Structure 1
Amino acid sequence: MANKPDDPAIFETKKQYTHPPGILVSDHYIQPYGYSCYRAQGTKDWLIIYTLSGKGRIHNGASGYLSCTAGTLTVVSPGTAQDYFTEQGHVWDKMWAHFIPRLPWMDWIPSSNTDGPIFQLHIDKESSRRAIESAFSRVISYRLYEDSMLRDELTLNALEEVILLVASQHQSKKELDSRVQEVLNIISRDYMDHILIEDLGKRVSLSPSRLSHLFKEQVGDSIMETLMKYRLKQAEPLLQYTLRPITEIALAVGFHSPDYFSRQFSNHFGVSPSNYRKKYREASSMESVQ
């Protein structure tokens, strides 16, 4: 893990990383009025801030400043100017992390929902707040874990939990159509099976064309694109953590053609499955000896 949150780019595009994903730096700050941070060019990593109590302000481009209050989660994308401070008369109690995301996270990290470049979400449910606070606390505490390889993996897993919780909260606020949600549930449960839009339509009482249009409108990707991405996400940890042959992994996640799996994996991740596995192991070996 790096020590400098304003270090330059760690990745280039959504599909091609030049550095393994990880937490660059994270901490828990309780800062009174007078605390501020300003980075005109932003950073080339992501910044996530969760406010526990008090009040901060963060600049959101031409739209002005956003307030960061208890239960507010703020995500700043790479290259976005970072200008934030504790509000006068307040103490800002926040947890934060600069990080390089794992590739699948890019489908979960929400885009801006404000009039500027910043994403911000207020978590209303107390149970959801506790879940996010617990996961974020583990992001910070795992940095003290002695085994460096396990430390980095545990930290990433904890942050992934935060990202998923935020994505879930954001999605619920969008109030997905119950039939679209049912299709998403089917995909997550039966992704390894042969899935046809016609069959999905029958299960949710919609014509294939109406279901396809509604799903694309609400999710952003088509049903087949979503299924493809989900299958590839399931293949990623199998390549990382097992020695199973690539042909076997392809079949296990729902691809009936290993060659087709390799092409789709390469298109999505920017490298072939075998090279992805090789690069991941090389990066893990380098981190374990540091």
Structure 2
Amino acid sequence: MIKRTDDMAINPAYPAKPLTSKKDTHPPGILISDHYIQPYGYNCYRPEGTKDWLIIYTLSGKGLLNNGGKEYLSCTAGTLTILSPGTLQDYFTEEGQTWELLWAHFLPRTTWADWLPAGNTGGPVFYLNIDDEVSSRAIEAAFRRVLSYRLSGDTLLRDELTLNALEEIILLVASCSGQKKTLDPRVKEVLGIISKHYMDSHLIETLADQVCLSPSRLSHLFKEQVGDSIIETLMNHRLKQAEKLIKYTLRPITEIALNVGFSSPDYFTRRFTSYYGVNPSLYRKQHRSIAE
């Protein structure tokens, strides 16, 4: 019998970026991860999910995770689950158990689109029981590196090393599951254009013409396979490039805004503040104080 505590409020010790959040202490694009050992009574409930992806790998004990409805999936040693953005997050430690898990909230690199798996359980959750000892050790070791890099004092390399370790996990999961999601080559071509030429202006009509699709068909196919619209994907890519320049250089913020493709510095500031939770100047000040 499935039992959970009555109070299913969001656990304040479990950071994530809510879909409707305007302020956030952990900016997107920087991995949030931890190792939990939680007895019965631990729970998390986010009915609208979060803006990021969530991956959970169980080391021991047992947790239960909602599969988008009334069905709960058992998370035991070797179980790995992945929840995409906007997916209900409802999970907790089973009664009489202690749940030991490694977890990470993340926003993936564009290049991961082929490897992030879709739900395979009749619901939105991707669920995999890794019973191969070599693979399970490799995934746990990569998770441990994620935790190690997250705590590193070298801020210049920390984010890239952390994402590299997580990318290894994603590739191992894809290899174990045999489920490689293949993007439509026309969507992949548009992603490549956005990645290489994010500072340029792009019209959906022009992109559609380049890949021989109608604008409406390209927009629908792109949203279906990537999860965000073409415009949002372009905007997010610009913001992530700007975030790196703000964090690691002393270039004027107005110059950075123009260089990554924003024609209006004021508009850039509004979008950056909405995305990262603080304005560009404060973001730079916070990260410079951490580095010092």
Normalising to structure 2: TM-score of the pair?
Answer: 0.64
- Offset of residue 165 of structure 1: 5.3
Does the 8 A contact of 2:146 with 2:166 survive in 1?
Answer: no
- Offset of residue 9 of structure 1: 5.3
CA–CA separation in structure 1 for the residues paired with 2:76 and 2:283: 39
Corresponding letter in the other structure for 1:261: F
Does the 8 A contact of 1:8 with 1:43 survive in 2?
Answer: no
- Offset of residue 58 of structure 1: 3.3
Percent identity of equivalent pairs: 46
Aligned to 2:287, the other structure's residue is in SS state helix
Aligned residue number for residue 80 of structure 1 = 90
**Gaps in structure 2 of 5+ consecutive residues:** 1-10
Cα-Cα RMSD? 4.8
- Offset of residue 142 of structure 1: 4.8
Is 1:58 equivalent to 2:63 in the alignment? yes
Corresponding letter in the other structure for 2:72: G
Aligned residue number for residue 153 of structure 2 = 149
If each structure's helix is expressed as a fraction of its own residues, which one has the higher value? 1
Cα distance, 1:129–1:223 mapped onto 2, change above 3 Å:
farther
CA–CA separation in structure 2 for the residues paired with 1:73 and 1:221: 25
Is 1:253 equivalent to 2:260 in the alignment? yes
Structure 1 segment 227-242 matched on structure 2, within 5 A: 227-242=234-249
Aligned residue number for residue 203 of structure 1 = 210
Corresponding letter in the other structure for 1:41: N
Structure 1 segment 168-207 matched on structure 2, within 5 A: 169=174, 173-207=180-214
Cα distance, 1:41–1:74 mapped onto 2, change above 3 Å:
same
Aligned residue number for residue 7 of structure 2 = none
Specify which of 220, 228, 238 is matched with residue 227 of structure 2: 220
**Gaps in structure 1 of 5+ consecutive residues:** 1-5, 30-35
- Offset of residue 220 of structure 1: 2.7
Does the 8 A contact of 1:22 with 1:152 survive in 2?
Answer: no
Normalising to structure 1: TM-score of the pair?
Answer: 0.64
CA–CA separation in structure 2 for the residues paired with 1:130 and 1:186: 37
Corresponding letter in the other structure for 1:198: E
Aligned to 2:43, the other structure's residue is in SS state coil
**How many corresponding residue pairs?**
257
Aligned residue number for residue 42 of structure 1 = 44
